[in-house]
Amino acid sequence: VPSLLQVLPLLRALGATGLLLEYEDTFPYTGPLELLRAPHAYSPAELRALLSRARAQGLDVVPLLPFPLQFVLKHREFAHLREVKALPNTLNPHKEESLALVKAMIDQVMALHEDLQWFHIGCDEVYCLGEGEESKQWLQQQDNTPEKLCLSHIKAVATCLASSYPMVTPIVWDDMLRGMSEETLAGSGVPQLVQPMIWDYAADIDVEGKVQLIEKYRRCGFSRVWFASAFKGATGVNQSLTLIGHHLRNQLGWLQVASRSPADVLEGIALTGWQRYDHFSVLCELLPVAIPSLAVCLQALENGGYSEKVKENVEKLLGMSNLEIDTFMSTSLGTFPGSNILTLVTQVSFYLKSSVDELLERNRYVTGWFSPYHRKRKIIHPIIMHHFQPDAVSLLSKWNAVVQDLQAAMEQVFHKCTIEEWMEENVHPSLQKLQQVVDDLDEA
């Protein structure tokens, strides 16, 4: 939380007016829901501190509960609520207990938030809906379709929120609604209950298609719509550095959509920053790594485009002198919170694997005289050893120092489990190979 509190004033200075928070398993659930909490979940006091600071910065907070609930349905205790028994993807919409779970989660999140205007209830990528036994029976009845099943599920969740908290408007991701006919959507009652958030994270979004989709949603009865762009994630499941240009072009596409839509239809735009593609995938770019991208994206939206003047303003706010948007920055120093993490992650991403591979796979003394065959048998010619042992030892000590600095910097921002995961994915494979060669040389 302290590291997030440092970022809030910067977000405000860059033009943000709100904070969309997808807590997943970091929310401090209590009672029967306590088992949903990750070991590093926030405490109620920590969350209150974050939320009150956000309010003080003039940021509207919008909590996001990701229905479907992978992080819930993975638990044995909730497995009986899965739509498909073997898969923790989707909640069974036919069980009363499913709705009771939804209500309990909403109530606990609402209890920690004050003065909410919106509540994001997810409802994207509801894979497997309709594939459970009860759904199959339901779909055999006359006039029942997968679309209607999806809409009735969205309606049930939205009604659950609206009945207890009439002042709060539910937001849903729009992907399950896009392909539905106007007749089905208009007749479902859903447009009167929710605001759709139209998402697209591509660098070249179909502007004309989006304009038509907005018109369709208007005709169906939706009062307002949101857009969702992305400032990180969305370009590679294990991406470690953020390509700013991709995300900037994404925002510029959305600006075109906005300029061609009626002024009163757009409620806002959320710049999503993925940390994982889903609950079970690896980490993609860390937040501090992507702050320059977020800064460029926010300022482009704030100024209606990107220019030399906007670039200079971003550089000033971030304390950077060499902002590069179309390539990964090979050196990236700044003064923004977490900028030391960006510098070190850049070093690791650019040079760790390549420097180790250069030594172990392209140095002829290693490949010719200290191959896996030699290493296994501990054979080496003493003269050959002098050709590469000093290089291996010095490379290892250099990278150990960098990784130590990165570890210390990450401890200011992340919990131990995140650091462990990032290191195991991005550092250990190369570092362990190098360490092993040095150890084998000693033994030989």
pLDDT tens track for 243-281: 999 999 999 999 999 999 998 999 999 999 999 999 999
Average of per-residue pLDDT across 58-72: 93
Residue 109's pLDDT is 97
Domain match, 313 and 355 both: no
Domain match, 211 and 90 both: yes
- How far is the C-alpha of 439 from the C-alpha of 431, rounded, in Å? 12
Beta strands in 68-182 (DSSP E): 118-120, 169-173
SS3 20: strand
Neighbour-count burial of 141, counting CB atoms closer than 10 A to its CB (0-12 exposed, 13-18 middle, 19+ buried): exposed
Residue 419: pLDDT above 90? Answer: yes
Domain match, 96 and 181 both: yes
Residue 326 lies in a domain: no
Residue 410 lies in a domain: yes
110 Cβ contact list (under 8 Å, min separation 6): 116, 119, 164, 165, 168
Residue 329: pLDDT above 80? Answer: no
Kindly give the interhelix angle for 339-347 and 382-411, rounded to the nearest 10 degrees.
160
- The domain tally of the chain equals 2
Neighbour-count burial of 276, counting CB atoms closer than 10 A to its CB (0-12 exposed, 13-18 middle, 19+ buried): middle
Which range marks the domain in which residue 152 is found? 1-318
pTM of the model: 0.95
Last residue of a domain, one of 318, 348, 369: 318
Residue 323 lies in a domain: no
Residue 330: pLDDT above 90? Answer: no
Domain match, 295 and 371 both: no
Q: Which residues are catalytic?
A: 125
Residue 1: pLDDT above 90? Answer: yes
Domain match, 296 and 343 both: no
* CATH label of the domain that carries residue 25: 3.20.20.80
Domain match, 399 and 253 both: no
Residue 192 lies in a domain: yes
Domain match, 298 and 356 both: no
Domain match, 165 and 276 both: yes
Q: Specify whether the CB–CB gap between 58 and 73 falls below 8 A.
A: no
Residue 66's pLDDT is 86
pLDDT bucket at 67, cuts 50 / 70 / 90 = confident
pLDDT bucket at 333, cuts 50 / 70 / 90 = confident
Residue 106 lies in a domain: yes
Domain match, 282 and 379 both: no
- How far is the C-alpha of 274 from the C-alpha of 345, rounded, in Å? 17
Beta strands in 18-81 (DSSP E): 18-22, 60-64
Q: Specify whether the CB–CB gap between 375 and 440 falls below 8 A.
A: yes
Q: Specify whether the CB–CB gap between 83 and 90 falls below 8 A.
A: yes
Residue 331 lies in a domain: no
